């Protein structure tokens, strides 16, 4: 069977029988409130490049002491990262990334004409001594807690040490906190400082992936202005209706998020225990919606599970760890159970002979 | 009075009294049909990076012998240009631009780490001999007919010569045809060939600026694939709801566009004749919705008209021609008349002493 080279192989594949542990998108819908503005909506003109004022104003509630001037609304957190890196561009600059990493990071760095370098993680946790060495001389470092693909949340102590060290060294911290509301072990810790550039989006918290509403939050006015300048030319305002829908989401009571997190946590327990029962080596996810078990020959696992068992999983190699497989648990418990049943069958047969 | 440095100065400025010949966005609304899908809309998941199949399929109707695989739906034509240039990137490559130019072109080229060079236009028409010299050794050339800011449409003969010459030389043609349906003198001529990369959008034809739906159409599969690859990482799918609204627009009968063009043409005549009566030197626009009269000290004109007469106009220098002023006529005839009255008053007073 042919090797499956990346997540894009699976796009558009769908059937009744298929169980997808692949794509990292919530299956639960956004709050109903975001659709309530649609029936009477009639706007059509350009919006502010920086993003609609009332949306940015609403976002300040989530970031202590922030002001609406410190936000830029973007086409998802992806564009926020792309614009931020383009704003930071310097010839020959190095951008320090975690490994394993969200699979787009190295690409976005290269498309911004800079060089990705990597810091180590042990079972998804930052190895601070390694980090300390690698960060010197870098232009910026990306922190992603909670993490895709590891499902880990970094220790508070580590995050605070990183905050301090990068400040001393004058290295920008790009903190990708898109999973900040999907966290099971503690409150999210917002990495702080004038040298911190925070990325977030409405995709995970409010299940609004398809609408592509993300943002950059930064206290540094020069970075904000540079990002706005680039966006003015390369994409202009973010879809006005998506922004209005996102604004409605900001008004939804906190209970919406809490009730979602309850569902995620229950699924997390189900898949984690299920995998332990299968004898797989993995750590218990603390946030986001991924488990990341070690498996023999992940490339073959991805191919076998798809072709023989109608299951989509992602190769850890796509995220920089060729010894593991990523399972997203953004699907019904019923499907998780059936998926685990098939994985068990596979492990008793083809996997054993692997 | 302080110099006004760019269009962004005017963003958010609005009042009853203000007459804006500034921003290039239709004031007439999109077809009602695009809003009709909203009341029952409930989608939220990621869409295909390349764009929704049915939308791309619908677009093929506008491009003879095209197929849906040859389109990528983007965040406006701006992102289409940005991604296209990033896909064509080569160290040290030169991108040939018209002068005057759409004000974002030089920026987008520089943000893609290439070098903008310029070909001349005489009263908005390409000077082919100059073009012929300059195009040699360039990676790509941008053609924009009908043009922002000149309002000109290039001669058929010139476009065909360019088509042939660039093919022989192996230079990519990036044809920005966002005004293809706002044309008063003939049918639009679609520049053709395997080396042609066509940009378009729903912003002008269907007045959908704020929704940011544009696209790239190209027969070269490698460019298409490279653009999709970059978009996968830097912004992912274009807003799904915007795409669905654009799809509805493609079903609207041609009469919608024709009736809009009639309005534009009538306004064009009004402002053109009005400016001739004021003794201004300008050519008659053949497409888009801009007049581009020559004026003394445009920087002062922009500032005076704004501060003394409550009128927004754009400095030609922002488009590469410091001898002219751009007036968009995307506003009511009543306002055009009142605006011209104020300009006349200004010309009899402060302008004369300029």
pLDDT of residue A194: 98
Residue A304: domain span: 7-24+255-348
Would you call B49 and A241 a contact, using CB atoms and an 8 Å cutoff? no
Alpha-carbon span A54 to A66, nearest angstrom: 14
Residue B2 falls inside a structural domain: no
User: To the nearest whole percent, how much of chain A has pLDDT over 90?
Assistant: 92
Q: Tell me which of A222, A250, A278 is where a domain ends.
A: A250
Quick check: is A353 in a domain? no
Q: CB distance B241–A238 less than 8 Å?
A: no
Contact B76 A235 (CB under 8 A): yes
Residues B194 and B312 in one domain: no
Residue A210 has its nearest CB partner, among B43, B111, B207, at B43
Amino acid B225: pLDDT: 98
Residues A296 and A316 in one domain: yes
If asked whether residues B240 and B285 sit together in one domain, one would say no
The Cα of A354 is separated from the nearest Cα of chain B by a number of Å equal to 32
- Statement to judge: residues A38 and A16 lie in one domain: no
The number of distinct structural domains making up chain A is 2
**Confidence check: pLDDT of B1 > 80:** no
- pLDDT tens string A92-123: 999 999 999 999 999 999 999 999 999 999 99
Task: State the pLDDT at residue B23.
Answer: 86
Reported ipTM exceeds the 0.90 cut: yes
> pLDDT tens digit string along A258-273?
999 999 999 999 999 9
**Least Cα separation, residue A130 to chain B (angstroms):** 27
Higher-confidence residue of B131 and B16: namely B131
| Contact of A138 with A114, CB cutoff 8 Å | no
> What is the C-alpha to C-alpha distance for residues A164 and A159, in angstroms, rounded to an integer?
9
Q: Is the CB of B210 less than 8 angstroms away from the CB of A234? A: no
Mapping DSSP to helix (H, G, I), strand (E, B) and coil, where does residue B290 land? strand
Asked if the model's pLDDT at residue B30 lies above 90, the reply is: yes
Condensed to tens digits (0 to 9), the pLDDT of residues A158-208 reads 999 999 999 999 999 999 999 999 999 989 999 999 999 999 999 999 999
Single out the residue in A203, A220, A250 at which a domain terminates: A250
| Chain B CB contacts of A76 below 8 Å | 235-236
Question: pLDDT tens, B96-150?
Answer: 999 999 999 999 999 999 999 999 999 999 999 999 999 999 999 999 999 999 9
Tell me which chain B residues have a C-beta less than 8 angstroms from the C-beta of A211: 44, 239-241
Contacts of A251 (CB under 8 A, 6+ apart): A33, A58
Say yes or no: A217 and A288 in one domain: no
Q: In CATH, what number is assigned to the domain containing residue A268?
A: 3.90.1150.10
Residue B1 lies in a domain: no
Q: Show residues of chain A in contact with B11, CB under 8 Å.
A: 48-49
Residue B70 DSSP class: G
Query: Residue B268 domain-assigned?
Result: yes
Contact B111 A234 (CB under 8 A): yes
- Cα–chain center distance at A14: 23
User: Would you call B44 and A107 a contact, using CB atoms and an 8 Å cutoff?
Assistant: no
Candidate from A30, A45, A241 with C-beta closest to B242: A241
pLDDT mean over B14-18? 83
Distance CA B294, CA B303 (A): 16
Would you state the structure tokens that stand for residue A18, as one six-digit string?
């298929």
- Bridge pairing between strands B172-176 and B140-143: parallel
Does A272 lie in the same domain as A173? no
Q: Who contacts B173 (Cβ-Cβ below 8 Å, separation ≥6)? A: B140, B141, B143, B162, B163, B166, B191, B193, B195, B196, B197
Q: How far apart are CA B95 and CA B113, in angstroms?
A: 10
For residue A302, being part of any structural domain is answered with yes
Phi and psi at residue A107, to the nearest 5°: -65, -50
pLDDT digits (tens, 9 = 90+) for B239-276: 999 999 999 999 999 999 999 999 999 999 999 999 99
CA dist., res. B187 & res. B274, Å (int):
26
pLDDT beyond 80 at A346: yes
Pair (A173, A70) in one structural domain: yes
Compare CB distances from A104 to B76, B82, B233 and report the shortest one's residue.
B233
Instruction: Check whether residue A182 and residue A284 sit in a common domain.
Output: no
> Any idea which residue has 């997540």 for tokens?
A7
- Whether residue A90 is contained in a domain is answered as yes
Between A27 and A84, name the one with better pLDDT.
A84
CATH code for position A54: 3.40.640.10
Confidence of residue B90 (pLDDT cuts 50, 70, 90): very high
- Domain boundary, last residue among A203, A218, A250: A250
Average of per-residue pLDDT across A131-158: 98
Inside any domain, residue A2: no
B354, part of any domain: no
Q: How confident is the model at residue A6 (pLDDT cuts 50, 70, 90)?
A: confident
Query: Which tokens sit at B335?
Result: 């306002």
A116 plus A64 within the same structural domain: yes
Residue A194 and residue A143 in one domain: yes
Q: Verify that B165 and B310 share a domain, yes or no.
A: no
- A147 and A201 in a single domain? The answer is yes
Q: Which residue of A has its CA nearest to B42?
A: A35
Q: Indicate yes or no: CB of B210 within 8 angstroms of CB of A242.
A: no
For residue A47, the chain B residue with the least C-alpha distance is B210
**pTM of the predicted protein model:** 0.97
């Amino acid at each position: 069977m042919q090797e499956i080279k990346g997540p894009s192989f699976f796009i558009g594949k769908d059937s009744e029988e298929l169980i997808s542990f692949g794509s990292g998108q919530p299956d639960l819908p956004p709050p109903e409130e975001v659709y309530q503005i649609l029936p009477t909506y009639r706007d059509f003109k350009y919006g502010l490049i920086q993003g609609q004022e009332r949306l940015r104003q609403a976002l300040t509630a989530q970031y202590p002491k922030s002001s609406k001037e410190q936000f830029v609304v973007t086409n998802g957190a992806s564009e926020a990262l792309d614009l931020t890196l383009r704003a930071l561009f310097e010839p020959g600059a190095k951008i320090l990334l975690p490994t394993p990493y969200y699979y787009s990071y190295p690409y976005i760095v290269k498309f911004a004409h800079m060089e990705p370098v990597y810091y180590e993680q042990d079972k998804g946790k930052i190895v601070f001594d390694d980090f300390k060495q690698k960060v010197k001389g870098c232009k910026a470092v990306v922190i992603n807690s909670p993490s895709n693909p590891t499902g880990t949340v970094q220790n508070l102590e580590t995050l605070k040490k990183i905050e301090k060290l990068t400040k001393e060294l004058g290295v920008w911290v790009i903190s990708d906190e898109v999973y900040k509301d999907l966290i099971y072990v503690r409150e999210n810790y917002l990495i702080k400082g004038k040298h911190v550039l925070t990325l977030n989006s409405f995709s995970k918290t409010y299940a609004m992936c398809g609408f592509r509403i993300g943002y950059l939050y930064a206290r540094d006015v020069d970075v904000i202005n540079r990002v706005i300048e680039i966006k003015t030319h390369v994409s202009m305002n973010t879809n006005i209706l998506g922004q209005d829908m996102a604004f409605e989401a900001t008004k939804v009571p906190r209970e919406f998020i809490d009730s979602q997190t309850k569902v995620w946590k229950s699924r997390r327990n189900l898949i984690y225990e299920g995998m332990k029962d299968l004898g797989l080596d993995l750590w218990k996810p603390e946030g986001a919606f991924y488990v990341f078990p070690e498996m023999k020959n992940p490339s073959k696992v991805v191919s076998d599970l798809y072709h023989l068992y109608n299951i989509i999983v992602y190769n850890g190699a796509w995220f920089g760890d060729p010894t593991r497989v990523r399972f997203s648990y953004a699907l019904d418990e019923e499907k998780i159970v059936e998926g685990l049943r098939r994985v068990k069958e596979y492990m008793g047969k083809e996997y054993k002979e692997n």
